[in-house]
Structure 1
């Protein structure tokens, strides 16, 4: 199992200097991998990222959230195709950088919708993801769809909803990505969704209920990590948190960061690394009971 951290913990820009900042922060905090957000895949030099990662002995995954202009679930075929092209480029970047995983809200726009997803919109997204799953598989990359709350998508908001959507996609290289922040809003508990997801769970985000320091909010991490242990989960476990002390004002607004719960990236990251590893170690000891 690899323990990682989201790049926005360290920087809001991902030019060469920002990429170095994120990778160095990841290494300093003791994480195994960096989750690199591909906010503009066309602006990222995957080969450069790979070289910097190699210099620091850090692995990488990538994520992104689509906007309205690239909404894969749009009934406008041109918009959906634009989203598919963006994700094709994202897959290429991850492959160039030597990564093995692309995840996030890559099935719809990451936004508040005012109506449920239509059958036509779901079908458009599912068809595109089946093609993208095949492209990613040929590149040695796994795709995982992040299950987020009702204010960020109308396609799926729970693990069971995600499983139903995977059936619509029908490709074995497209899986689920659970996030404790979103689960704390939408799920009935933190154990059952992990077990329900089963072998289709390939990626995990660890985030507190208020996006701040782990263990200071309302997320039931104990049950969640027990679920991972019972499942025998061995994929990435990645800490995610945001503060306008690091990211830009526009991105802060997009993410709804109306108040800052931290301003020291290194302290936050080191604490999260210890917290996650301690939780994982604690559930390991249950076998001794």
Structure 2
């Protein structure tokens, strides 16, 4: 199968020798989206050999790089972009509180508008609930509310040719979607409501905590799979932890997946103290963003080359 991602603008940097475009999270480079940070992150990502950069929705649009500057930097560097976000406790749509839900819906629509204005065709992340440790299970009413909001957001996104990704996370960061199977069922419910532009987003770090295997996660996602975060078990350098990378790539090969593979890793040398505390980044897996980015790009290219040319496999 081909990927359901189907970006509005074909990936400009994707090499003919690779199967999937590779990306990098902007948090590898910067902790905000000021004009200086936008230039550093985009130029760094292109220079390291990535096809796309994942840009978190800027927290303060007033001090962020203008959408036109971001778009120009992407064009000048020949690199594509996707947009991501994680809802918080004050913007949770997995709730029975209408005021909190309304703020969450507004944030999701803001992300869609940001994607539209910078020329991106995908908004993903923890878009279905707050990214937090819940003190209780999700309720039928909170799940239904999340479905209602995402149905409206997906409809708005469809009008501007933007796709919505649902990145399930581990049990300590959501009580609603923790596995690919749960997320596939949730997306099926959305599609029955007419949301045809919703995709399943696997993060290998979270899958490592919750799934039987990375391959099982890909199998359970099936044709709904549209985006992957490539993150090591300790969120450091790829290939240095316990993730079964060969098994993952074999599963992707079996499904014919052709969507993006985006490296995600964080260091408190880069991220803000607030982000450090939110994700429990108590020790640094690396210090040099350029070095870890180049290593990740080479790691992903090597696996994709072997996937494209089976004779090269050990």
Range class of TM-score, shorter chain: over 0.9
Asked if structure 2 preserves the Cα contact closer than 8 Å seen for 1:102 and 1:144, the reply is yes
Q: Using the alignment, how far apart are the partners of 1:29 and 1:202 within structure 2?
A: 23
Using the TM superposition, give the Cα deviation of residue 42 of structure 1 relative to its aligned residue in structure 2, in angstroms. 4.0
Aligned residue number for residue 235 of structure 2 = 211
More helix by share: 1
Secondary structure of the structure 2 residue equivalent to 1:65: strand
Whole-Å separation in 2 of the counterparts to 1:286 and 1:58: 28
User: How many residue pairs were aligned?
Assistant: 289
Q: Cα offset for 1:140?
A: 0.8
State whether structure 2 residue 288 is matched by structure 1 residue 264: yes
2:32–2:58 contact (8 Å) kept in structure 1 = no
Match of 1:249 in 2: 273
Measure how far apart 1:274 and its partner are: 0.5
RMSD across aligned C-alpha pairs, in angstroms? 1.4
Structure 1 counterpart of 2:171: 150
Of the two structures, which has the highest relative contact order with CA contacts closer than 8 Å and spacing of 6 or more?
2
How far 1:168 sits from its partner (Å)? Answer: 2.7
Select 1:19's aligned residue among 35, 38, 50: 38
Whether the aligned pair in 2 keeps the contact of 1:46 and 1:94 (CA below 8 Å) is no
Structure 2 counterpart SS, 1:11:
coil
CA distance in 1 between partners of 2:122 and 2:209 (Å): 25
The farther-off stretch of 32-41 and 69-78 is 32-41
Displacement of 1:223 in angstroms is 0.7
Give the whole-Å Cα distance in 2 for the aligned partners of 1:72 and 1:42: 22
- What does residue range 80-95 of structure 1 map to in structure 2 within 5 Å? 80-95=101-116
* Structure 2 unaligned blocks of 5 or more: 1-19
Q: Given the alignment, which residue of 132, 135, 159 partners 1:111?
A: 132
For 2:188 and 2:221, how far apart are their aligned partners in 1? 13
- Given the two structures, how large is their TM-score scaled by the length of structure 1? 0.97
CA deviation after TM superposition for structure 1 residue 55, in Å: 1.4
Moved segments of 4+, more than 6 Å? none
Q: Is residue 104–residue 177 contact of structure 1 (8 Å, CA) maintained in 2?
A: yes
